[in-house]
Structure 1
Amino acid sequence: MKRIALLGMPNTGKSTLFNRMTGGAARVGNWPGITVELLSGKILLGGDMVEIIDLPGIYDLHGFSDDEQVVRHFLHDNVPDLALVILNATQIERQMSLLLQLKRLNLNVVVLLNMADEAKKYGITIDSKKMAEMLDMPVFLLSGKYGAGYPEALQAVARALRYPTPGMAEQLRSQLEEDAHLESEMARVLHHAVQIPVQMPEHLSDKLDRVMLHPWAGLPLFFGIMYLLFQGIFLLGQPLQLWVGDALGWLRGAALEPAVGWLPAIVQGLLLDGLYNGVATVAAFVPLIILFFLFMAMVEDSGYLSRAAFLMDALMAKMGLDGRGFVMLLMGFGCNVPALMGTRVMRSRSLRLLTMLIIPFSLCSARLQVFVFITAALFSPVAAPLVLFSLYLSSFAAAILTALLFKGKYQNNEPFVLELPPYRFPTLRQMLLRGWQEVSHFLRRATQFIVAGVVLVWLLTNLPPAAAPGGPDTFAGMIGSLLHPLFAPVGIDEQLTIALIFGFVAKEIVIGALAVIYGQFGDALGSALAQQLDWVQAYSFMLFTLIYTPCLSAIATLRNEAKSTGFAAFVIVWSLALAWLVSFLFYQTARALGY
């Protein structure tokens, strides 16, 4: 199978083009010679099945960041049949140097000048035919966002794959050679093939940034926008969630119960009260998760997250971090795993470790479903979005406190350099593809853990056979009683304790575990929780769930990225200690005030 590698600097639209080429049918896999995972997808091109690999964005082929090393190792150990080099046409002067470095490797190359629509608005004119002639490689103008120029580029890619890969003339060098020659060649190509106006016209992004990046109004605007985003997710997602829950309840009563009625009672209980209740409770949250990722894709692709990093940089610097750490926290709202992997762009090991220490406090989508379910069950429709927003603020507070406490241990002097892309409103196709990728990843992870988790919870709450289901004589009851002295001061009872234990494996299991423990799902489970807990206990439980140990996938990723088992163990211990302390202070204070 032939292989195409996507190469380019950050913010050139590589991911957008990758999604357009693969249709979102991507997978994550390991590659020989490197210790990280890369995104890949297979497409039929020119009658052949071709694999597309999306490599990390890099500024310089011979730089020293982890991402640059990943690209070097990949090209060295997995020479692609074609290198598809994507450049931002609005920044052609700065990005040409990377292309000329890649040209020296004697790779089979096709060049795509992306964002040609934006370059035209800026008055930048590029003669792609002249540039192709001077570089001796195919060059095409393209708009990855809208698809303009995409069919012609795809045909050129198919043609280029017919020719054998030249292979690298020699191994990658650790230092650039003949820098003067490279600079003169770049100047020659730009002089003959590119026309850039002396003064660029004022762009809409400049006008918006006067407001969005205002020294006083910028941060309140950012938090206001994020609050509206969470409000929208809750208001639109809750009715969909209830509708799916009702449909799953009807399916159980109308089809599943009659179908398994002939089975022994214990098997019926395992299949219906264990497996189906647990999985159905989690499945009811899929519409909400879809909305969450669609909204976050809109915010990320618009370019606003870079502005958030800029706004937060001064505050993050006081904590020993920089604006990129704040962006990683926001990425963690989707899933902590890619956020932890995103710290590779930081060259300072101390900065990476401190950032990885705070990322697990991000309120990920798996925790979100737990909080939405509990807030909907115990709080009014008016109070629920405020409770949810307060948990996001608590997430930031836990990260800030941790950074302040440990910034002395992980000192950093790396300068913060940030590129602000123009504002772009993503197309519906982009949002849907991005949302589908994230949701499919969520469902794959959920499937891996939830089925096994809810079955194990059912066994713990129903064995030994002589014990009453869910009673104190079951294995679950024994474990809950053993840990009760530890969790009683924070208002967490035995049933919630069992759910927390399984939440260590994956937070998606928590609600499924509660469904099995209480023998209910959907609205019935919400009513059971409302009868069992008051709002103080529920909020204390949510605080603990928010802060305590991240899931096993996050821990494994953290250990791999930090290359330290001791650091991963420290993260587990610190998050558990902080979760207990915060929940204890909240619960005891609320009770002392008479709530």
Structure 2
Amino acid sequence: MTNSDTGIATEVTTIAVLGMPNTGKSTFFNRLTGANASVGNWAGVTVDLLSAKVKIGVQETQVIDLPGIYDLRGFSEDEEVVRQFLMTNPINLVIIILNSSQLDRQISLALQLKDLQLPMVLLLNMADEAPKFGVSIDHEKIAKHLGIPVVPICAKHGQGCSEAYKIIGDELAKSRAAVSVGNIEACLAPENEIASQMGALLQDAVRVPSQMGQNLTTRLDRILLHPVLGLPIFFGAMYLMFHFIYTLGTPLQENLGNLLTWFKEIALQPLLGGLLSLGVWGKFFHDFLIDGMYEGVGTVAAFIPVIFLFFICMAIVEDSGYLSRSAYLMDAFMEKLGLDGRSFVMALMGFGCNVPAIMGLRVMRSPGLRMLSMLVIPFSLCSARLNVFIFMTTALFATKQAPLVLFSLYLLSFVAAILTAALFKGKFPSKEPLILELPPYRFPTFKQMMLRSWREVRHFLVWSRRFIIFGVVAIWFCNNFPTNVAPASAGTLSGMIGQFTSPIFAPIGINPQLTVSLLFGFIAKEIVLGGLAVIYATSEDGLGKAIAQQIDWVQAYSFMLFTLLYVTCLSTVAVIKSESKSAKFAMFSVAWSVGLAWVASFLFYQGARLLGF
């Protein structure tokens, strides 16, 4: 039998990977599956889950990475997702992953899962870090208490993973039918009984010092979590990150752009040159393929090195443990705005892509907190907008000015989020307390950073290519129809659109060509640059010079400010509608972002002109 949603045969062996947040669960999942993961829809579960097919022994095995949870009795949406999955999907084996240095707080989850009577293996991750905190663990005694195999591992460096794979294979080799849990609440022992079992297990198998000794984490936290210096250090680190991306990414982007131009001149134009001899329609298709498809998509593709660098930096910030510290630093301030530290973390995650950041809000129990966070996150400077800004700053600003301009847009994204939260916190109240884990500092391995960056770049290419191709084709047609007028002139569809919307965009300094790209950018910001390349019928290098001849830095900054604040993309709007379960709320978020973008750009542009710039 086959699940129609996933296309996966139900007889395929299924492993569920489960654990608390920040235990290295996803790191082990990536190591086990080789990061060959896809997103699938699962019976009884309302959200998509990460899954991958691997061969363990002789068996084809489906590995499912479930959301991190604290308690099977918890009330967050992630905990409900896990409960629904366990109750509705047959499972051959559960892999529980816990943090070795925090067993006194995490072993209760393993005891709860034991009550479900599912085949299980417990992996004690970060086993190399536990001794640094003075934690001593006898994993064989833990195995006796739980009645399941227990293996200490370090998923980050691979220590103990070979033994873990062998034991997982041995457990799967046992001829047991896949099972699903009936009523989880009925299976779980009372909380006082779980607490009693946990006390006995910890006393017998785990030694935790009454006071943790000084280590690198505690010494760094004295500085990085300082009540006065903490936030300036954080924003300084973010500035250095953007400076690094700009300094290293711009030459890489230019080199890739030059390579694409070289390929067009050496291979593509000679290959398609024969079309020019076929008359009007031959020239039409020649221009469409080169000036439309190739130039548009190529301009966007040239920024792949920038995206790759961006996600390397984000992997360091996130996997090092500094991201959760930023939530701690910002929590008190965010609370005054009706948000909490998690909202700030999700906003930072939105710098990669707004869509998964909004989906990550499911961990919040409070509907008001989720809704307010959904209004805030779309102002995060996502990687698609970052491409536009790096291009514009390179074309219109001096080399020393460009990183500062880019960082100012980063800061303005926070200002827009703060203003939004302050204005609407009364409409979306929340009193949900923040529970936050501060993992020890650790630097991600080179392999982890490369895999994370490649996965995000692949997601960018797969997710955006349909929008980019649709956008650049649509803009090219608007730019070249009707055919009896000069391309991109006032008589074409794009010229008409630009002139029609001129009363709206002229007061903020945005010319008709930029206007057309912005309108199509509503679909996806990746289209903006590709659209401009099509409108100006030039490559990425020539595009910068063409735009610099038409507009000054005030118009460029107004354009970037509008791009920063108005609707991220249709995908974000769709996710907001799905997560809020309200089309009215999704439309409100669109109207607010567009209105704020226009007002902010108007104030900047007109103010700059009044000051004589």
RMSD: 1.2
Q: 2:166 matched to 1:155?
A: yes
Q: Matched residue of 1:355: which SS? A: helix
Instruction: Provide the residue aligned with 1:248 in structure 2.
Output: 260
1:463: how far off? Answer: 0.8
- CA distance, structure 2, for counterparts of residue 240 and residue 266 of structure 1: 33
**Matched-pair contact (CA < 8 Å) for 2:76–2:365:** yes
**Matched-pair contact (CA < 8 Å) for 1:131–1:189:** yes
- CA distance, structure 1, for counterparts of residue 340 and residue 414 of structure 2: 14
Q: Matched residue of 1:234: which SS? A: helix
1:85-107, Cα deviation, whole Å (9 max, x unpaired):
00111111111111111111111
1:194: how far off? Answer: 1.6
1:18: how far off? Answer: 1.3
Instruction: Provide the residue aligned with 1:440 in structure 2.
Output: 458
1:199: how far off? Answer: 3.2
- CA distance, structure 2, for counterparts of residue 229 and residue 517 of structure 1: 32
Equivalent residue for 1:523, pick from 541, 550, 570: 541
Q: 2:302 matched to 1:290?
A: no
Q: 2:136 matched to 1:125?
A: yes
Q: 2:103 matched to 1:68?
A: no
Q: 2:209 matched to 1:197?
A: yes
- CA distance, structure 2, for counterparts of residue 593 and residue 22 of structure 1: 59
- Give the residue type in structure 2 aligned to 1:203: N
Instruction: Provide the residue aligned with 1:140 in structure 2.
Output: 151
**Matched-pair contact (CA < 8 Å) for 2:115–2:187:** no
Q: Greater shift after overlay, 534-543 or 182-191?
A: 182-191
Instruction: Provide the residue aligned with 2:124 in structure 1.
Output: 113
Number of aligned residues? 595
- Give the residue type in structure 2 aligned to 1:580: W
- Give the residue type in structure 1 aligned to 2:211: Q
Instruction: Provide the residue aligned with 1:419 in structure 2.
Output: 437
Instruction: Provide the residue aligned with 1:219 in structure 2.
Output: 231
- Give the residue type in structure 2 aligned to 1:275: M
Instruction: Provide the residue aligned with 1:257 in structure 2.
Output: 269
Instruction: Provide the residue aligned with 1:342 in structure 2.
Output: 360
Instruction: Provide the residue aligned with 1:55 in structure 2.
Output: 66
Instruction: Provide the residue aligned with 1:431 in structure 2.
Output: 449
Q: 2:218 matched to 1:206?
A: yes
Instruction: Provide the residue aligned with 1:28 in structure 2.
Output: 39
- CA distance, structure 1, for counterparts of residue 502 and residue 98 of structure 2: 59
Instruction: Provide the residue aligned with 1:39 in structure 2.
Output: 50
Q: Once the two structures are aligned, what percentage of the paired residues are identical?
A: 57
Instruction: Provide the residue aligned with 1:587 in structure 2.
Output: 605
**Matched-pair contact (CA < 8 Å) for 1:353–1:562:** yes
1:434: how far off? Answer: 1.0
**Matched-pair contact (CA < 8 Å) for 1:107–1:165:** no
- Give the residue type in structure 1 aligned to 2:111: L
Q: Greater shift after overlay, 14-23 or 222-231?
A: 14-23
Q: Greater shift after overlay, 387-396 or 410-419?
A: 410-419
Instruction: Provide the residue aligned with 1:469 in structure 2.
Output: 487
1:183-220, Cα deviation, whole Å (9 max, x unpaired):
22222222222222333221211111111111111111
1:175: how far off? Answer: 9.1
1:514: how far off? Answer: 0.2
In the superposition, the TM-score normalised over structure 1's length comes to: 0.98
- CA distance, structure 2, for counterparts of residue 175 and residue 399 of structure 1: 44
Instruction: Provide the residue aligned with 2:388 in structure 1.
Output: 370
1:169: how far off? Answer: 5.9
Change in Cα spacing, 1:300 to 1:169, as seen in structure 2 (3 Å) is closer
- Give the residue type in structure 2 aligned to 1:390: S
Pairing of 1:364-513 with structure 2 (within 5 A):
364-513=382-531
Q: Matched residue of 1:161: which SS? A: helix
**Matched-pair contact (CA < 8 Å) for 2:112–2:189:** no
Pairing of 1:301-340 with structure 2 (within 5 A):
301-340=319-358
Q: Matched residue of 1:317: which SS? A: helix
Q: 2:200 matched to 1:182?
A: no
Instruction: Provide the residue aligned with 2:572 in structure 1.
Output: 554
- CA distance, structure 2, for counterparts of residue 302 and residue 208 of structure 1: 12
1:132: how far off? Answer: 1.3
Q: Matched residue of 1:467: which SS? A: coil
1:272-292, Cα deviation, whole Å (9 max, x unpaired):
000000011011000010000
- CA distance, structure 1, for counterparts of residue 413 and residue 177 of structure 2: 50
Q: Matched residue of 1:117: which SS? A: coil
- CA distance, structure 2, for counterparts of residue 166 and residue 282 of structure 1: 46
- Give the residue type in structure 2 aligned to 1:367: R
**Which stretches in structure 1 are left out of the alignment for 5+ residues?**
none
Change in Cα spacing, 1:468 to 1:206, as seen in structure 2 (3 Å) is same
- CA distance, structure 2, for counterparts of residue 112 and residue 275 of structure 1: 50
1:221-268, Cα deviation, whole Å (9 max, x unpaired):
011000000000000101100100000000000000000011111001
- CA distance, structure 1, for counterparts of residue 300 and residue 520 of structure 2: 14
Q: 2:559 matched to 1:541?
A: yes
Q: Matched residue of 1:52: which SS? A: strand
Q: Matched residue of 1:94: which SS? A: helix
Q: Matched residue of 2:156: which SS? A: coil
- CA distance, structure 2, for counterparts of residue 124 and residue 353 of structure 1: 41
Q: Matched residue of 1:145: which SS? A: coil
- Give the residue type in structure 1 aligned to 2:270: P
1:12-53, Cα deviation, whole Å (9 max, x unpaired):
111111111122221112211122111112222112221211
Q: Matched residue of 1:446: which SS? A: helix
- CA distance, structure 1, for counterparts of residue 186 and residue 430 of structure 2: 25
**Matched-pair contact (CA < 8 Å) for 1:377–1:526:** yes
- CA distance, structure 2, for counterparts of residue 473 and residue 238 of structure 1: 36
**Matched-pair contact (CA < 8 Å) for 1:273–1:516:** yes
